[in-house]
Every structure is written in structure tokens, then in C-alpha cells.
Chains A and B, each alone.
Chain A
Amino acid sequence: MKKKIIYFVILISVIFLQLSLVPAFFDLSKGPDLVLMLVLAWTIRDGFEKFISWMILAGVLNDLLDYSSVGTHVIIFVFSSYMVSFLSRFFVVQIRGIGFLFLAVFVFLSMFFARSLIFLLPVLNENGNSFAQIWQNFNIWQGFGYGFAFNMIFVMISLWFIKHIKKYFFI
């Protein structure tokens, strides 16, 4: 129970930070994806299977508060985490050495998948827009580099934070 309460508080706080703090501090499309990075860090620390129900909850809450179609972030979180979990079998993710490089690759792939889905979903679902319009949307990727840098910082903070929270509360 203690673990559930702590996890929920962390999760909802990060969702609030994403919605209220990030837009005030970062320019258009250059901000970090705080919730996605927290989910990745949690998957690395807890493992995919232990955390899957939390991913679904995080995704649904994020979608409700973010005015997105319910399910969008669930798919992003579950797929990204599975990818991390799958690749972690072959590569050791660490904050130092070669593990850091793998962490960067995971963050990059997750971001790429998340942004692709978020921008393609409305285009594919709604008006049957042309391929030209989909291509036009790609100018949105201009903030990807900044987003990646901020995400790397946040995922490392998340890894450190989760490790210490688990240690402190014995969860």
C-alpha cells in the first residue's frame, strides 16, 4: 500500500509538472517529456512486468489531463517501455560508461516513437489528410535536439530519484 501511494504521488506530480511547468520554461517543442522519461526510468529500475499497470494508469491520467484521445499515451508508454525492456536483455543500461550510450539510444527511440505517434494520430484519424500534409507536420521536429538533451538530464535525475526513494522508504 505504501508503495502504491508513493508511486501515485510521484506519478501525478510529474504529470502536473509536465502540464504546468514545462510550457512556462521551455520554448515550443523544445521541452522535455517528463512523464515518458519517468516511465522509462521506472522500467529500468523495476522491470517491465512489475510496472505495466502503472504505465497504463500513467497513460490514462496523462491523456485525460492533456485533452488527448484516451489511449495515446498508454500506447507510447507501454511500447517504449517494452522496447527498453527487450533491449535491456542484451545491453546493460547505466548512467556511466557504455551503458550511458545505450540509455541515450533508448531515450532517442522513445522520443522518436512518442512524437511520431502524437503527430500522426490526429492526421491519420480525422480528415484523411494527404501525405503532403503529414510531411508538412515534420517541421515540428526542429525542437527534437533540445528535447533530447533535456530528456537525458531528466531520465538520469529520475533514475537517481527512484533509486533513493526505494531505498529511503524500503519499497
Chain B
Amino acid sequence: MQKFSQTKFFKVLVVVIFFWLLILFVPVSFFQPLRSTALFLAAPFQKVLYFISVKTAQTGDFVFSIGQLKNDNENLIRENQSLLAENARLADVEKENKFLREQLNFLPKERFEFIPAAIISQDSQNLGNWMEIDKGSEDGLAEGMPVVVSKGVLIGRLQDVYAHNAKVILLTNPKSAVNGVAGENGTKGIIKGEYGLGIMYDMVLQTDSLQIGDDIITSGISGSLPRGLYVGKIQEIHPSNDHLFQQATVASPVQIAKLQFVFVIKNSKQ
């Protein structure tokens, strides 16, 4: 009869217990050098593959969208006419907006140093929890730095920074929590992730005003992120489970899966 120690089940048991203990008791930092080396070696291949994948996906999207182009064109002509009128009105609003930015300190880009970075991989479970960029501590990046896309839309923060790579924890990650303000009244709340499914604006007092369509920006409270980084628009409002607070679903203007480049706000120039 086969000894228990020679059975497949025993081997499985040994492997599972060994790695389970590794997960529970060995700190993540123990594997940092090994992970850093693996990421460094893999980065060139992943960068090329990610670039090809995104381009192919975009081409696919374009091919499928050809049928819609005719309708879109007609709609665009109508939209163009209304935009001409809107443009005249916005010129006036722009003056007001400029004044408000100075007052509220909204995304003063001239004060920040942006580091461009290419995305080389994303959450393999497709949950939109994280992405990997090709810049790291040797480029001056550090944990906690905000990551935005070209228009100053916040998408996440740096979490693990290696020599040549860094992991970005996205706003859709449930571990992400950022202080925010919404709408003209500056209603305060916490911008939280919902397991890759979206962004929630939470912990808003029942007495505070919150409207569908309100813009949400970072508040700058606690100092970890600058004030004025755009997050998204409120789509839906509902009370929290305990009915003590209001919660809102936030729609980000960024489609993370199709991004190729991001910008890390390195520091303030002031």
C-alpha cells in the first residue's frame, strides 16, 4: 500500500500549507527585491504587448463603429449649430471660471511637475484595481503621488514604487479612499472604490446638498493629494445602509482599459 507521504494529496497539502503560511506570516516587503527584478525583466515585453493590445482593441472599436458614423455625422451637424451659440455664452463663463480657479485654487497646473509614464499592464483579474507604469523611484516617483490623465482627471495614486516600475492603485480599488468636495456648495465626502465596479462618493451628511450632475474634485484635506483634481460627475444618489449618510455613484470620464499614458504629479513647484 502506498505511504501517505507519497500520495498526491500529501504533496498538495504540503504545498498549500507552505504557501498559505507564506501569505499569512511573511511580509510583502520580503519579496520586494525579487519582484523588482521580475518586473524589470518583464517590463519591455509587457510594454510592447500592452501597446499592441490597446491599438488592436482601438482598431476593433473603430471597425465596429463604422455603421454608426452616418448617424453620428448628422447629429454632429446639429450639435455644431447649437455649440456655436453655446461658445459665445462660454466665453463669458470662462472669465468667471478663471476668477473662481484663482479663488479656489483649482488644479493650478503651473504649480505641479508632471512626469509622463506609459502603462505596461493592468489588474489581471480585470477588476480595474490597479495598473503598472514604466516609471519608478529612479525617475523620482514615490508612494502616494497622484496619477492623472492629460486633462487633469485623477485616476489613482502610486502604491508600490520600484526602481523602474510602479503600481498605481486606482480610485475604483476598494482600498482607495480620497477626500473630496462636490458641487458649488463644496459638499464634503470620501471618494471610495467599489471592487472595480466604479467610484462611490460616501460619508456625505444627510443635511448637506448633493445633486445629480455635480462635479467631484479632491479637497486637499489631509494633504496627501492637492486640491482641485477632477474625479467625475455624480450619477445617482441614495442613502447609506444605516441611513446616517448620503452616498452617490460617480461616473469618471476616463476609460481606464483603453489608456496608454498617464501623468504622475511629482511635486509642487512652489
Contact = CB atoms under 8 A, between A and B. Distances in A.
Interface residues of B, number: 49
B126 A29 contact: yes
Contacts of B257: 23-24, 27
Contacts of A118: 125
A67 B22 contact: no
A136 B124 CA distance: 21
A21 B53 contact: yes
Contact of B128 (A18, A22, A28, A86): A28
Given A65-B38, A143-B126, A25 B195 contact: no
A48 B127 CA distance: 30
Contacts of B123: 23
Contacts, number: 129
Which of B15, B20, B35, B127 is most buried by chain A, counting CB atoms within 10 A of its CB? Answer: B15
Interface in A116-131: 118-119, 121, 125
Interface string A8-34: 000010001111111111111111000
A3 B174 CA distance: 42
Interface string B115-147: 000001111111110111000000000000000
B23 A125 contact: yes
Contacts of A27: 126, 257
B53 A70 contact: no
A20 B46 contact: yes
A75 to B, nearest CB: 5
B124 to A, nearest CB: 5
A76 B39 CA distance: 22
A18 to B, nearest CB: 5
Contact of A24 (B12, B19, B196, B258): B258
B158 to A, nearest CB: 12
Contact of B121 (A23, A48, A71, A140): A23
A94 interface: no
B28 A69 contact: yes
A12 B38 CA distance: 11
B8 A85 contact: yes
B42 interface: yes
B8 A82 contact: yes
Contact of B46 (A19, A26, A71, A78): A19
Contacts of B122: 19-20, 23-24
Nearest to A31: B126
A14 to B, nearest CB: 11
Contacts of A18: 124
Contacts of B46: 16, 19-20, 65
Interface string B160-189: 100000010000001000000000000000
11 contacts: A23-B257, A24-B54, A24-B56, A28-B128, A29-B196, A64-B38, A67-B132, A67-B160, A121-B23, A136-B195, A140-B197
Interface of A: 12, 16-31, 48-49, 52, 56, 59, 61-62, 64-67, 69-72, 74-75, 78-79, 82, 85-86, 115, 118-119, 121, 125, 136-137, 139-140, 143
Lowest 8 A-B CB distances belong to which pairs? A71-B19, A23-B122, A24-B53, A19-B121, A20-B50, A31-B126, A20-B49, A64-B38
